[in-house]
Chain A
Amino acid sequence: MTAALEADGLGLRYGRSWALADCTLEIPAGRVVGLVGANGAGKTTLLSLASGQLTPSAGSISVLGGRPGSGRVQLAKVGFVAQGTPTYAGLSVRDHLRLGAKLNPAWDDALAQARIRRLGLDPRRRARQLSGGQRAQLALTLGLAKRPELLLLDEPVAALDPVARREFFGSLMEAMAENDLTVMLSSHLVADLERLCDYLVVLAESRVVLAGSVDELLATHHRLTGARREGSRIPRSHKVICASHTERHSTLIVRAREPLLDPTWTVSRLTLEDLVIAYMVAAPPDRTLLGVAQ
């Protein structure tokens, strides 16, 4: 099975600063991938590179075995709902569907029409008359009815209220159940992704700091709490992601390859949010090492 996305040393530079640097990733097909990171961490850049909206200034990226944006065939395989779920304000819902039908060889009109009906969208309404949630649903419909193998969603719910957010994710989950596709969506809220994703990529300061399947990540990361000790020896099999100390206690978040046998530590499970935040706080990676040494 080919990977949905493979990146090797991928980078994009604006002038002298890197929006994304040295990104090496391999995302298996069939996953629902959550892309997390602070604002400006490089989420949009990575998705734009994957959809072919941007061309890299370093390294290489391959999506479903092809170069992103390289031609009609490649474009047909990848759906991309850009940040803010843009739609043509002056065009009606029906016009949007016609646009999709005219421009995509694999367009699934039955799917599009059924979705619009189910969502209760009036086909004659112009996009500017729709609510933010309805516009997002329309953009998602365009992305789904194109029948892509990989669907990229950039902060699709950022502007939506909690109800619209729930509805959006609900219909996305439904669509994923019905169609065999890989989904990659970004958010700066872990809670958004927790219900949906089985694979996680964390970006911090333009770099990928963590990537892996959610189950595996949760199984290998632990929180260690114990009496305060600085610079104490932790087995080599454990990598300290971040450490915090109060007067009496030390709390470490570690990535472990094998169980920790030291009984002076209390080991507890992490939530996905704890894990993501640990990596976001700890970035960039080289600084983590420094922190441990102190």
Chain B
Amino acid sequence: MTWLALRQFRTAAYATTAALAVILALLAATGVGLRDRYSALRPACGSGGPECSVVAQAFFRENRSAWLAAIALVLVVPALVGTFWGAPLVAREVETGTHFVAWNQSTTRRHWLLVKLRVLSLAAMLTAALCTAAVSWWSSPLDEVAIGDFPLMDPLMFAARGVAPVAYALFAFVLGVTVGMLVRRTTAAMAATVALLITAQVLFPVLVRPHLAAPVETTTEISDHRSDGFTVERVGPDSAALLPGSSGAWFLSSTIVDPSGTVVDSIPVSASGPCVSPVNQDRAACFAEMGELGYQFQVRYQPLSHFWPMQARESAVYVGLSLALAGLCLWRVRRNLT
């Protein structure tokens, strides 16, 4: 049975291998140069400071499109796997009647499906793992520079790094198979799979991911000098905002509270104080005035230290869902399909 599963998968496997080879070669070729540029940039930065930030930002801007494309690749691979390997797996057989060929050899339907699921989910996970590892390696200098705008814990980055993409690929594949079995028309199954995968990728970070680990909840003073990597920005004359900065954290919520703990939109700063000045003047003095009035930031966030525990739990959730769907498929295949 493994022979048949591999034989049917051969064309797709060749095509995928070719595409992967091109992508990996491209990343390897450009990745080395990127690293050289980054290490040359470091001593110029020296002890940090504004000049360093300018150089780093320029370096990031130059490579920004390629960096975003690499993220897109990692996010798209599971969807491709689900759509082109998963959805047609059973649907195409039923559509062309070839399931009758397979099901009338001396092999049970359940075994037939089990072997197919096993062979192709391994291939799906391997593909995703290769892609993610290569892209992560290639991107690592840029990730460091980009951390202010794209924290690693942010939904976009979180889904494109670590081990989660491998679990997505498994889930996408099994979801595709399940949809294909229920819909039994290849094109419709492919479309439905894409729609469901997008829905899952949108809903999961909103509904599930924040709860994978208990978020840190804290209040912190409105001040320019921070040890947690967060940055504070002025938002108009009478308000400020706390941003993840170089901490890599994912902010679930960030508000200003008055001394009694009530959430407020603006702070009643004095009309003649430092906050009246244009936004980038007297920042420190303005924040100091806000702090003295007893106002604080109240913030709920997932810190960078939660990255691996949350990756592990998210992957476990997706693997669990995949196993449940696979179980459903194996149960369904024994029942009347038509």
Contact = CB atoms under 8 A, between A and B. Distances in A.
B is a partner of A: yes
A47 B198 CA distance: 42
Contact of B1 (A78, A86, A102): A102
A90 interface: yes
A76 B1 contact: no
B98 A98 contact: no
A98 B1 CA distance: 11
Nearest to B11: A90
Given A88-B8, A91-B7, A103-B4, A72 B338 contact: no
Interface string A95-108: 10011101111100
B227 interface: no
A72 B108 contact: yes
Nearest to A74: B106
Interface in A51-93: 51, 53-55, 69, 71-72, 75-76, 78-80, 82-84, 86-91
A222 interface: no
Interface in B111-156: none
A102 B335 contact: no
A139 interface: yes
A98 B3 contact: yes
Interface in B73-108: 96-98, 100-101, 103-108
B336 interface: yes
Contacts of B335: 55
Contacts of B7: 91, 95, 99
Contacts of A80: 100, 104
B14 to A, nearest CB: 12
B3 A88 contact: no
Given A95-B7, A102-B1, A82 B107 contact: no
B101 to A, nearest CB: 6
Contacts of B11: 90
Interface in A131-183: 139, 142-143, 146
Contacts of A104: 105-106
A139 B106 contact: no
Nearest to B111: A72
B104 A51 contact: yes
Q: What's the interface size class on B, roughly?
A: 20 to 34
Given A83-B97, A86-B97, A142-B101, A75 B108 contact: yes
Nearest to A95: B7
A146 B105 contact: yes
A76 B100 contact: no
Given A54-B336, A54-B338, A75 B97 contact: no
A241 to B, nearest CB: 33
Given A54-B336, A71-B108, A142-B101, A89 B4 contact: no
A55 B105 contact: no
B105 A88 contact: no
A54 B3 CA distance: 26
B98 A100 contact: no
Interface in B1-41: 1, 3-4, 7-8, 11
Given A82-B97, A103-B4, A75 B104 contact: yes
Contacts of B4: 99, 102-103
B107 A72 contact: yes
Nearest to B96: A86
B336 A75 contact: no
Interface string B318-338: 000000000000000001101
A70 to B, nearest CB: 9
B103 A99 contact: no
Nearest to B3: A102
A100 B338 contact: no
Nearest to B336: A54
Contacts of B109: 69
Most buried by A among B11, B101, B335: B101
Contacts of B103: 53
Interface of B: 1, 3-4, 7-8, 11, 96-98, 100-101, 103-109, 335-336, 338
23 contacts: A51-B104, A54-B336, A55-B336, A71-B108, A72-B107, A72-B108, A75-B104, A82-B100, A82-B101, A83-B97, A86-B98, A86-B100, A87-B98, A87-B101, A90-B11, A95-B7, A98-B3, A99-B4, A100-B105, A103-B105, A104-B106, A143-B104, A146-B105
Given A91-B8, A143-B104, 6 more contacts: A53-B103, A88-B101, A91-B7, A99-B7, A99-B105, A139-B101
Interface of A: 51, 53-55, 69, 71-72, 75-76, 78-80, 82-84, 86-91, 95, 98-100, 102-106, 139, 142-143, 146
Q: Which 5 A-B pairs have the closest CB atoms?
A: A86-B97, A103-B105, A82-B100, A76-B106, A80-B104
